[in-house]
Every structure is written in C-alpha cells, then in structure tokens.
Amino acid sequence: MKGLKRRKRASPQRGFEFADDHRLRLLQGAEELFPALIAAMDAAMSDIQFETYIFDFTGAGASVAEALMRAAGRGVRTQLVVDGVGTGALPGAWAARLKAAGVHYRVYSPLGALGLLLPQRWRRLHRKLCVVDGCLLFCGGINVLDDFHDPNHGALDSPRFDFAVQATGSLVQAASETMEQLWWRMQAVRDARQRRLPEALQALRAASAAKHAAERAQAGPSMRAALVLRDNVRHRARIEKAYLRAIGLARHEVIIANAYFMPGGKLRRALVMAARRGVRVRLLLQGRYEYFMQYHAARPVYGALLDAGVEIHEYAPSFLHAKVAVIDAEGERPWATVGSSNLDPLSLLLAREANVVVEDADFALDLRERLVRAMHSAGRRMDPLRYAGRPLRQRVLDRMAFALMRLALWVTGKRY
C-alpha cells in the first residue's frame, strides 16, 4: 500500500498544496474549452459548481447555458455565480429559462445605485472555475464568451487568445470547497437582508464548515500541481508570491502572456533582475486598444523593462486575454501557471482569483510552444527606440492613466 500513496514534500514558503496525483489538459480558447465543458456537464451525475466573471449568451456562450439547463433538468444540482460588473443582472429571458430549468444562480456583489463610486465595489469575482461531480475541474482565464464576439467591440476577425486547464486530482477538492464556501456566504447575506435570521445562521455555519474543510485540503506538502487562490481574507498575496518565487528561481527563460499587465514594484524588479542575470525574459502583451486604463496605464512601466533587455511582444490579431506564464520549460525545474489573475493591481490586490500552478515538463513545453508560436506569428516586438520616441500625446495619456491608477490605489488604501 505504501507505493500507492501520493508523493508529497513540505514547502512552507508556498502556503498552498502541491501533489503529484493530477492529470491536466491545456485548453486554448473557447473553441477548445466549451466542447470539453459541455461534454462534462452532459455527463454530470450529481452537481455542477460554476463561477465566471462574464456570462454572455451570444453565439457559443448560449451553448454553455443550454448545457447547464440540461443538467439541471435531469436533477443535477447546478449552482452558477456571475459577477455583478462583468455580467450584471442576467438578461430577462435567459434568467427565466435558467430558473425554470432548475439552475440556481446568484450575482456576486451587484453594484447598486452608486455603482463603482464605492471603493468596496472594486473587489470583484474574477475567477473562472467549474467543478463537475466533485472530480473534474476547469480553471483558467476564459469567460463564457464567444471567441469571435466582444460585448463592447462587436464581431472579431480572429479568436480571442486565452487559456484554461481541465484537471483531475487533489486540487479539484480545494476548488469545490472554496466555491461552496462562497455560495453559502452569499446565501447568508441574502437571508440576513430578508430578515430570515435562522436561515442566515444555518448558511453561515455551512460556510464555516466549508472554510475548515478547505483549510484541511490546502494544509499540506507540495509537489506537482496546485490551485492557488487570491481573496481579501487569508490568501491576499499568494498568486503574486507564486510568480515572484518562480521568477526568482528562473535560470534560462521566463515567458509571460498577460492581458492587463501593470506589475507592481516587486514584480518589475524580479523581471529586471532575471534579465540582468542572463535569463531570457519575454512578455506577450495586449497590442489592441480595449480599455483606456488598461492600455495606457501599462506603458509607463515598459521603459525599465526594455532597458534591462526584457523583450515585449504585442499581440495584434485579436484581443489577448491570456493570464499564463511558463518558466524554464526545457530546464530541470519547469514551472507553468494558467488562471484568471492578471499582473495588475485589480487582480493582485482586490479581486477573487484562481490559478493552477503546474510543475511538469510536458505541460510546460506545450504551453511554451503555443506562446512562442503566437509571438512569432501574431506578435509585434516593441523596439526600445521607438518606444522612447512615441508621440507626446500618447506619453501624456500614458502618464495620465498611470496617475489615475495610483490615485485609485491610494483611495483603497493599497500599496503596490
């Protein structure tokens, strides 16, 4: 029996559990994720837990909603949580259909009358998680959103560039329990507002039980793959620390693809130091204008990175939405992560996020190959001289956006 035990090793610096009992499959875009997700939902026997920032019912997004309804219709317990900013209130017709089918859904932190004027409303549910029957996990950066559709920009000529993973193993339990905990906390708030105090107390007890179970699941040694969570209670800096540790240990290569790249001082210094000690550091970043803040506030940090020899490639064919990294894929200690967390203050300081971290050569090489291919075929390498000589108007907008971001952080009391 000894040989059947899961191999473990202690790693107190990490603060999350690694184990080698996982099977992981890298999925690129909704074109790969949605068929796998729908197949899992159609095979579900007991329950589906689903969280997403955006649930858009256009195009392929509707097929995911249909799969949820089919599962609920045959008696599978189906829980859906969407974010109050990313999704907001569900469209009336779809909300009615989901309810009639038996899908239980909730909106995380609805904005209310003052909207985002209240800084506490900036704490969003940004993670994308789905657990089916407690044994299969989907985690990544892909929203329920058709690859060729953007809610703000309309039809896209090329698919959105993003990733997720399908996983089995120990981390599935950790994901399930953190989702269950959030569900019952939201139920407790709802019951308390409706003055249903006995029900609220019962929901809080359920949330407490889920919390303790999650703590037990995450308190342990580390090895092959792990779920790394970020919230505003116990896991405030875990994802950032995971990046910092991996970059600090890099010996050959760091590749990061990130949609909204505004790293704080620690991450910037880690990347600069890696480049200066001879590590090849390549960043694949958003090349198309999507939002004013994300586009312009990122650019003031490019100068120091370029000066240190960091390569910056901008992805142009469509919107880059990936939040992934791979380090030393061809070395002795391969490391990769796929998840929902951008390297920006919203993700690293305010939002609920979830990343899967993988220490596996085959997985790291697969991700590396896809990122390198995207840089070569669809990326535009930024020239340091051209960056330094960009027009005055652009530099003013960049500085304005950067200053607004710093002001917003000051309002929240955060340092970054």
Q: Helix (H, G, I), strand (E, B), or coil: what is residue 149?
A: strand
Give me the residue spans of the domains in the chain: 17-218, 225-412
Q: Residues 145, 160: contact at Cβ < 8 Å?
A: yes
Query: In this predicted structure, what is the pLDDT of residue 147?
Result: 97
Query: In this predicted structure, what is the pLDDT of residue 328?
Result: 98
Mean pLDDT computed over 3-25:
64
Mean pLDDT computed over 3-20:
55
Q: Is the pLDDT of residue 196 over 70?
A: no
More confident residue, 126 or 113: 126
Q: Of 2, 362, 6, 3, give the one whose Cα is nearest residue 171.
A: 6
Give the tens place of pLDDT for each residue, 34-87.
Answer: 999 999 999 999 999 999 999 999 999 999 999 999 999 999 999 999 999 999
| Whether residue 5 lies in the annotated active site | no
Q: Is the pLDDT of residue 189 over 80?
A: no
Query: In this predicted structure, what is the pLDDT of residue 233?
Result: 84
Residue in 162, 313, 323, 344 annotated catalytic = 323
Q: Of 265, 296, 352, 244, give the one whose Cα is nearest residue 14.
A: 244
Query: In this predicted structure, what is the pLDDT of residue 18?
Result: 87
Q: Is the pLDDT of residue 409 over 80?
A: yes
What is the side-by-side order of every strand in the sheet holding 136-140?
23-28, 163-168, 136-140, 128-132, 47-52, 77-83, 104-108
Residue in 147, 162, 321, 344 annotated catalytic = 321
Same fold: 17-218 with 225-412: yes
One-letter amino acid for residue 136 of the chain: L
Residue in 162, 328, 344, 366 annotated catalytic = 328
Q: Is the pLDDT of residue 134 over 80?
A: yes
Q: How do strand 335-339 and strand 323-327 relate by DSSP bridges?
A: antiparallel
Give the tens place of pLDDT for each residue, 142-168.
Answer: 999 999 999 989 999 999 999 999 999
Task: Give the CATH number of domain 225-412.
Answer: 3.30.870.10
Residue in 8, 133, 266, 360 annotated catalytic = 133
Query: In this predicted structure, what is the pLDDT of residue 294?
Result: 87
Mean pLDDT computed over 104-125:
89
Residue in 22, 56, 83, 126 annotated catalytic = 126
Q: Helix (H, G, I), strand (E, B), or coil: what is residue 31?
A: helix
Mean pLDDT computed over 190-208:
51
More confident residue, 307 or 117: 307
Give the tens place of pLDDT for each residue, 257-298.
Answer: 999 999 999 999 999 999 999 999 999 999 998 889 889 999
- Average pLDDT over all residues of the chain: 89
| Whether residue 376 lies in the annotated active site | no
Angle between helices 92-101 and 60-73 in degrees, nearest 10? 30
| Whether residue 133 lies in the annotated active site | yes
Query: In this predicted structure, what is the pLDDT of residue 243?
Result: 98
| Whether residue 20 lies in the annotated active site | no
Task: Give the CATH number of domain 17-218.
Answer: 3.30.870.10
Residue in 128, 211, 241, 313 annotated catalytic = 128
Mean pLDDT computed over 169-180:
94
| Whether residue 323 lies in the annotated active site | yes
pTM reported for the whole predicted model:
0.88
**What gap in Å lies between CA 212 and CA 227, rounded to an integer?**
17
Mean pLDDT computed over 353-382:
96
| Whether residue 321 lies in the annotated active site | yes
